[in-house]
Amino acid sequence: MSTLSALRRPLIHPAAVIRFDLPGARPVPYVQARRFFDAFSRAKVELLELGRRLEALERE
């Protein structure tokens, strides 16, 4: 699987992940998880755009 196709897969929102009670895991505050998710989402969009530009340049 290419990196670009891996980036296109849907993400699981961290709020859904927080609900799982893993042994030895500390609960993560929702605000902290939300900030991480938002930053990760922005980075993902930027990487997808760079991937599209790279694909366009390779076709030229």
Could you tell me what percent of the chain has a pLDDT over 70?
53
What are the contacts of 46-50 at 24+ separation with CB within 8 A?
A: 47/7, 48/4, 48/7, 48/8
Q: What is the pLDDT of residue 8?
A: 58
Q: What is the pLDDT of residue 17?
A: 52
Q: What is the pLDDT of residue 24?
A: 67
Low-confidence ranges of the chain (pLDDT < 50): 1, 20
Q: What is the pLDDT of residue 53?
A: 92
Q: What is the pLDDT of residue 1?
A: 47
